[in-house]
């Protein structure tokens, strides 16, 4: 089984905007890699750096948000191409959770299966949370998956998340590869029973 995730605590960085698509999260030119290793440095690359590699002062690079592990955004986060490189880049950048109004379905699924927690608040709640994070960049936000709450300072909100995703994160069954390996013998036994399969 994968590591169970019951809560995520960390400092938050607001990356405001709606319809932030996967090409903005990880530009296609960085998808030539054989593995996902090293993708983290390219997260939001074209919005963080100009053609000369100079910083555009993106929120992820703001001094007060260095080391933040919870990203805050708007609606339809992760829309566009279904590239699984997008959540991989964010995870490898150091993001452990995303709080947004809602998520593109495929991005949400790709994130969940690598343990990148995605939960939703409504627009009014997100506005308050982003403002709080901007004013309190060194304070932690806690996402409690079991209680389904988000706590930031004196604020507490109840978030939304697909029940199946919540259960898989809490139980540590979100990684399909881990599930396959855990059932290796049962899979092998079934395969051996099939007339068209041969095993050494």
Note the pLDDT of residue 195: 76
Note the pLDDT of residue 189: 76
SS (H, E, C) 58-101: CHHHCHHHCCCCEEECCCCECECCCCCHHHHHHHHHCCCEEEEC
In angstroms, what CA-CA distances link 100 with 34, 74, 112, 113? Answer: 30, 5, 14, 18
Full-model pTM: 0.88
pLDDT digits (tens, 9 = 90+) for 138-168: 999 999 999 999 999 999 999 999 999 999 9
What is d(CA 61, CA 71) in angstroms, rounded to the nearest whole number? 13
115: alpha, beta or left? (left if phi > 0; alpha if psi -120 to 50): left
Query: pLDDT tier at 19 (50, 70, 90 boundaries)?
Result: very high
- Which of the four CATH numbers 3.20.19.10, 3.40.50.300, 3.40.1440.10, 3.40.50.1980 does domain 7-192 have? 3.20.19.10
Q: What is the mean pLDDT of residues 103-123?
A: 97
Tell me which residue has tokens 């709640």: 125
Query: pLDDT tier at 38 (50, 70, 90 boundaries)?
Result: confident
* Terminal Cα distance for the chain, rounded: 28
Domain extent listing, the chain: 7-192
Tell me which residue has tokens 């390996």: 181
* Residue 10: both structure tokens together: 């960390």
Note the pLDDT of residue 193: 78
pLDDT, averaged across the chain? 92
Beta carbons of 121 and 101 less than 8 angstroms apart: yes
Note the pLDDT of residue 179: 63
Instruction: Name the residue with higher pLDDT: 125 or 196.
Output: 125
What is d(CA 154, CA 197) in angstroms, rounded to the nearest whole number? 60
Note the pLDDT of residue 82: 86
The pair phi, psi for residue 40, each rounded to 5°, is -55, -35
Query: pLDDT tier at 54 (50, 70, 90 boundaries)?
Result: very high
Cα 4 versus chain centre, distance: 15
What is d(CA 10, CA 75) in angstroms, rounded to the nearest whole number? 22
Q: What is the mean pLDDT of residues 28-40?
A: 83
Q: What is the mean pLDDT of residues 51-68?
A: 95
| pLDDT for residue 200 is more than 70 | no
Note the pLDDT of residue 134: 97
pLDDT digits (tens, 9 = 90+) for 77-92: 999 988 899 999 999 9
């Amino acid at each position: 089984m994968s590591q169970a995730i019951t809560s995520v605590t960390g400092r938050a960085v607001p990356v405001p905007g709606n319809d932030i698509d996967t090409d903005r999260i990880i530009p296609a030119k960085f998808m030539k890699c054989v593995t996902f290793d090293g993708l983290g440095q390219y997260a939001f690359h074209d919005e963080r750096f100009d053609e000369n590699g100079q910083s555009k002062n993106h929120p992820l690079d703001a001094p007060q948000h260095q080391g933040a592990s919870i990203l805050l955004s708007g609606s339809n986060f992760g829309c566009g191409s279904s590239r699984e490189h997008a959540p991989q880049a964010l995870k490898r950048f150091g993001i452990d959770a995303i709080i947004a109004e809602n998520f593109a379905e495929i991005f949400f699924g790709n994130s969940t299966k690598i343990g990148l927690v995605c939960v939703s608040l409504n627009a009014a709640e997100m506005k308050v949370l982003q403002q709080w994070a901007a004013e309190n960049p060194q304070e932690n936000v806690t996402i409690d998956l079991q209680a389904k709450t988000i706590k930031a300072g004196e604020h507490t909100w109840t978030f939304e998340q697909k029940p199946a995703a919540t259960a898989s994160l809490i139980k540590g069954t979100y990684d399909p590869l881990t599930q396959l390996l855990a059932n290796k013998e049962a899979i092998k036994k079934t395969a051996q029973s099939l007339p068209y399969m041969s095993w050494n």
